């Protein structure tokens, strides 16, 4: 890998709190491109996918929650999917969010062949309209990618075999998600397993399970402990530590299998001096080969 393409998705329509639409700017301000170039990579920033402003949609009578923004989210994710599909071979895309609903477009956009997905998140994002307590679409993208959910979304974005999906760092699940994850055969490492087994063993098991597949890593800032990453809309205590998160990225990097990345749910409104965006940039560098020695 020598070439990286950065593409922003300034979207908060799938979330329950405003602010993650400013995440791409915060990540750029944290010198993502410059730090990647310092690793010897050629970086091109492709700008942002077009996303409607929530205030404009409200004038049309739409509101947050439920499925009111489904078509607008679908359209933004479709544009992301098509832009990723058009990238030349050998380019490593980094998608900047934005809420996690954008991953419907990013994963389906890079899934030109059988793909393994490593979903690093405090939440499973495996709800459907029937199981979701809030109706917010950022809690549904992984289910959609596995073929569950609203038909307007699954017909456009179903892209992965659930048995080729691994979640790491989960510590907040809705009852319906627990049932669906078991039924679909998704592998889940909760924080219980992180505490008991350790990150190194989990990372090795993930790579063994997804052996031979190109990998997409979807990294949600709320997987980190909120003391490290306060700038998230849905913080959950007891997350990954600084070294646990970096070690996970380092081991995934050593496999040579990772071919694409999402950085999502950074909310600068809730952050402290851009700490969360800076932490996510550091993890990106570890995933793309930065080493201590």
224-238 residue pLDDT tens: 999 999 999 999 999
Domain membership flag for residue 106: yes
Domain membership flag for residue 192: yes
Domain membership flag for residue 78: yes
How high is the pLDDT of residue 109? 98
For residues 6-28, one letter each, b for 16 or more C-beta atoms within 10 angstroms of the residue's C-beta and e for the rest, the string is bbbbbbbbbbeebbbbbbbbbbb
Domain containing residue 123: 3-288
pLDDT tens digits for range 10-60: 999 998 889 999 999 999 999 999 999 999 999 999 999 999 988 888 655
Instruction: Report yes or no: 229 and 242 within 8 Å, Cβ to Cβ.
Output: no
How high is the pLDDT of residue 198? 98
How high is the pLDDT of residue 62? 45
CATH number for the domain spanning 116: value is 3.40.800.10
Q: How many domains does the chain divide into? A: 1
Q: What percent of the chain has pLDDT over 90?
A: 90
Binding residues for Mn(2+): 100, 121, 123, 125, 220, 222
- Under the banding of pLDDT at 50, 70 and 90, the label for residue 292 is confident
Domain membership flag for residue 74: yes
Domain membership flag for residue 166: yes
Domain membership flag for residue 293: no
Q: What positions carry a catalytic annotation?
A: 100, 121, 123, 125, 138, 220, 222, 265
Domain membership flag for residue 125: yes
């Amino acid at each position: 890998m020598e070439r990286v393409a950065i593409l922003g998705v300034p979207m908060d329509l799938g979330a329950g709190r405003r602010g993650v639409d400013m995440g791409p700017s915060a990540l750029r301000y944290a010198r993502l491109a410059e730090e990647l170039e310092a690793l010897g990579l050629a970086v091109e920033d492709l700008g942002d996918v077009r996303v409607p402003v929530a205030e404009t949609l409200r004038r049309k009578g739409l509101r947050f929650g439920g499925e009111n923004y489904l078509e607008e989210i679908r359209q933004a994710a479709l544009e992301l999917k098509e832009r990723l599909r058009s990238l030349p071979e050998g380019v490593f895309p980094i998608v900047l969010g934005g809420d996690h609903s954008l991953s419907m477009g990013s994963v389906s956009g890079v899934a030109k062949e059988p793909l393994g997905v490593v979903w690093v998140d405090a939440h499973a994002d495996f709800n459907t309209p029937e199981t979701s307590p809030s109706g917010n679409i950022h809690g549904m993208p992984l289910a959609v990618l596995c073929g569950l959910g609203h038909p307007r979304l699954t017909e456009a974005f179903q892209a992965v075999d659930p048995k080729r999906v691994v979640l790491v760092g989960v510590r907040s699940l809705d009852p319906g998600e627990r049932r669906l994850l078991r039924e679909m055969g998704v592998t889940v490492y909760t924080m219980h397993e992180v505490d008991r087994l350790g990150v190194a063993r989990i990372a090795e098991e993930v790579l063994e399970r997804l052996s031979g597949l190109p990998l997409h890593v979807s990294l949600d800032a709320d997987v980190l402990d909120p003391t490290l990453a306060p700038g998230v809309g849905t913080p959950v205590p007891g997350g990954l530590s600084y070294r646990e998160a970096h070690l996970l990225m380092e081991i995934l990097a050593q496999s040579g299998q990772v071919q694409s990345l999402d950085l999502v749910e950074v909310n600068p409104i809730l952050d402290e001096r851009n700490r969360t965006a800076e932490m996510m940039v550091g993890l990106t560098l570890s995933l793309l080969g930065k080493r201590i020695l």
